[in-house]
Amino acid sequence: MATTSAPTDTSLRFDHVSMVFPDGTHAVDDVTFSLGPGELVSVVGPSGCGKSTLLRIASGLATASGGQVEVDTGDVGYVFQDATLLPWRNVQANVELLAELHGVPKDERRRLAAEAIELVWLQGFERQMPRRLSGGMKMRVSLARSLTLKPGVFLFDEPFGALDEITREKLNDELLRLFDSQRFAGLFVTHSVSEAVFLSTRVLVMSPRPGRILADVPVPFPYPRAPELRFTPEFAALAGEVSAALRGSR
Amino acid sequence: MTTVLPDATTGSPPEEPAPEAGGQQPASGAGSPRRNGSRLATLVPPLGVLAVVLGIWNAFSYVLLEEDQRFLMPPPHKVVQVGILDTENLTEILRGLWQTTQVALVGLAISIVLGTLLAVAMSQARWVERSIYPYAVVLQTIPIIALVPLIGFWFDFNFRSRVIVCVTISLFPIITNTLFGLKSADRQLHDLFTLHGASRSTRLRKLLLPAALPAIFTGFRISAGLSVIGAIVGDFFFRQGDPGIGRLLDVYRNRLESEELFTAIFFSSLLGLVVFWGFGFLAHRLLRSWHDSAGGDH
């Protein structure tokens, strides 16, 4: 029911996808949507509604028990709930990790890491160990790590959920700046309605388990979006609409 | 003789060392006044305890024991006089200690290599873990002392069988701690490595082993202490080959040479302490940049 004007160039397509775990938990039910480059789609829903399961399926970490998924899993960047840095590596070595796993030669790795570190404004912190960084900075290292591979599809699993509000809004602004310059296709799972509306081109509202898509709300605000957008009446109206859909789901 | 430098930088009152602890002060002139002050603060309490223990010890020897019973608890200065200042006795004890140290170090090295390899194999395949783990537990629960004579029969009463006793006692903590460490890597990090197609050996080298290092070193430290105990126990029962400190303990006990016995016990404890502390220091140096357990001083 939920596909809006499918872009001609599709990076990720879910076609009637369902997920029933071996223990009988029905996590996701009949989910259909697609997104392409330059689209940032947020998924909001009550806890345990299978939002994260969608990302695991999209990345290939889990296989759907029903339906079709179209995606190039080699082209996927995954940003986890936690920064998931290797605590024994400094910032530079952490950012190089993925290229290293893909067998990229050392010089090239250095260059990719330097580029990504610049994109998230972490120059000067290359030699720092993760334990010395704040939560927000760790998350930026995590973003930089994914950016090194220049993925076409970015999956975000509540990446800023554990951060305080000020840091979260700052990182939202930075993520938008990255999105504006890199034009990837993004799927962003969050439990914050205002974060979803501020970031995305569309917001998908999911029902409690088994997760189904209840509403597909387009967000018409053009990019680049200024931080002040959060305080406009139009923004409040749209956030209200998403909240209402979310409340209706209970 | 007591050098107390006022701590002008923080304005806190200078540490007053107990007057009786004089002569045990750290060499003055090392480091800044502030550093000296904090060193004093860490040294004074244990030295105070030492003074109390020596006092009680003396009271035991002279007040509680009649002269003909004094061999049960010879006073501290007699122990020093006979055990340490008598060159012949000291040489005998240090030679025994060196023998035991060799057994302990060889045994510990074998335990470390064998234990780590077994734990890695167990972490890589469930069936290996299920096959081996019960026997590792058995190794820990059977009374090794009962087996020591048997090991002597089978492998002769020489260096080799002393090492075998030592390995038998010190192997288990290395297996369990390493295995626990290898399994402690974060689940999302596992997902990350899976997403990017990491091979089994890459995952082991770049994720599992580094994540396990703190636990591995905990195992090393426990086993280091046990390897000394193992070396002494093996030696205690074996009456052939070069005598180690365990052999000497038995000899001194039979001859009622309590001053020598006390000295031998002191050096045995010191050996265990040095090996334990050595691994603590190594772990601290290797892990301090990223792991909280290595944050303090050891």
Q: Is B193 on the interface with A (CB under 8 A)?
A: yes
Report whether CATH 3.30.1360.20 matches the domain B80-294: no
Model pLDDT, residue B31? 44
Tell me if B291 and A87 make a contact (CB, 8 A cut-off): yes
Report whether CATH 3.90.550.10 matches the domain A12-248: no
Task: Give the confidence band of B36 by pLDDT, cuts at 50, 70, 90.
Answer: low
Nearest Cα of chain B lies from the Cα of A1 at a distance, in angstroms, of 30
Task: Give the confidence band of B28 by pLDDT, cuts at 50, 70, 90.
Answer: very low
Is residue B92 scored above 60 in pLDDT?
yes
- Residue B104, helix vs strand vs coil: helix
Is residue A157 scored above 70 in pLDDT?
yes
Return the axis-axis angle of helices B126-141 and B87-124, rounded to nearest 10°. Answer: 150
Using CB atoms, which residue from A59, A88, A100 is nearest to B210?
A88
Quick: pLDDT tens for B101-121: 999 999 999 999 999 999 999
Is residue A61 scored above 70 in pLDDT?
yes
Spatial CB neighbours of A117, under 8 Å, sequence gap ≥ 6: A91, A92, A95, A123, A125, A126, A144
Over pLDDT 70: what percentage of chain A?
Answer: 96
Nearest to B235 by CA among B53, B101, B70, B87: B101
Is residue A230 scored above 50 in pLDDT?
yes
- C-alpha distance from residue A127 to each of A93, A121, A133, B254 (Å): 9, 14, 11, 62
Model pLDDT, residue B30? 43
Chain B: residue nearest A82 by CA? B188
Chain A: residue nearest B295 by CA? A131
Is residue A91 scored above 70 in pLDDT?
yes
Quick: pLDDT tens for A165-204: 999 999 999 999 999 888 899 999 998 999 999 999 999 9
The ranges assigned to domains in chain B are 19-64, 80-294
Model pLDDT, residue A8? 53
Question: Which chain A positions have a beta carbon within 8 Å of B191's beta carbon?
Answer: 61, 78, 80
Task: Give the confidence band of B9 by pLDDT, cuts at 50, 70, 90.
Answer: very low
Can you tell me which residue has the tokens 């995606």?
Answer: A71
Is residue A6 scored above 70 in pLDDT?
no
**DSSP 8-state code for residue A74:** G
Model pLDDT, residue B37? 66
Chain B: residue nearest A81 by CA? B188
Tell me if B198 and A84 make a contact (CB, 8 A cut-off): no
* C-alpha to C-alpha distance for B89 and A203, rounded to whole angstroms: 85
Tell me if A129 and B291 make a contact (CB, 8 A cut-off): no
Is residue A73 scored above 90 in pLDDT?
no
Model pLDDT, residue A4? 41
Is residue A2 scored above 50 in pLDDT?
no
Between positions 208 and 267 of B, the ones with CB within 8 A of A are 210, 213
Model pLDDT, residue B15? 37
Per DSSP, helices labelled H in chain A are: 51-59, 91-101, 106-119, 135-147, 165-182, 193-199, 233-248
Confirm if A220 and A231 have CB atoms less than 8 A apart.
Answer: no
3-state secondary structure B28-87: CCCCCHHHHHHHHHHHHHHHHHHHHHHHHHHHHHHHHCCHHHHHHCCCHHHHHHHHHHCH
Question: Which chain A positions have a beta carbon within 8 Å of B206's beta carbon?
Answer: 86, 97, 100-101
Is residue A1 scored above 50 in pLDDT?
no
Model pLDDT, residue A47? 84
Chain B: residue nearest A102 by CA? B196
Nearest Cα of chain B lies from the Cα of A198 at a distance, in angstroms, of 27
Chain A: residue nearest B292 by CA? A131
Is residue B68 scored above 70 in pLDDT?
yes
pTM of the model: 0.81
Task: Give the confidence band of A31 by pLDDT, cuts at 50, 70, 90.
Answer: very high
Is residue B14 scored above 60 in pLDDT?
no
Quick: pLDDT tens for B203-253: 999 999 999 999 999 999 999 999 999 999 888 888 777 788 988 898 898
* C-alpha to C-alpha distance for A155 and B191, rounded to whole angstroms: 13
Question: Which chain B positions have a beta carbon within 8 Å of A141's beta carbon?
Answer: none
Confirm if A158 and A189 have CB atoms less than 8 A apart.
Answer: yes
Q: What is the pLDDT of chain B when averaged over all its residues?
A: 83
Mean pLDDT on A10-23: 92
- Residue B121, helix vs strand vs coil: helix
Model pLDDT, residue B175? 95
Tell me if B195 and A81 make a contact (CB, 8 A cut-off): no
Confirm if B177 and B215 have CB atoms less than 8 A apart.
Answer: yes
Return the axis-axis angle of helices B258-287 and B245-254, rounded to nearest 10°. Answer: 160
Mean pLDDT on B69-90: 86
Is residue B176 scored above 50 in pLDDT?
yes
Model pLDDT, residue B35? 58
Task: Give the confidence band of B298 by pLDDT, cuts at 50, 70, 90.
Answer: very low
Model pLDDT, residue A234? 94
* C-alpha to C-alpha distance for B283 and B286, rounded to whole angstroms: 5
Nearest Cα of chain B lies from the Cα of A163 at a distance, in angstroms, of 18
Nearest Cα of chain B lies from the Cα of A33 at a distance, in angstroms, of 23
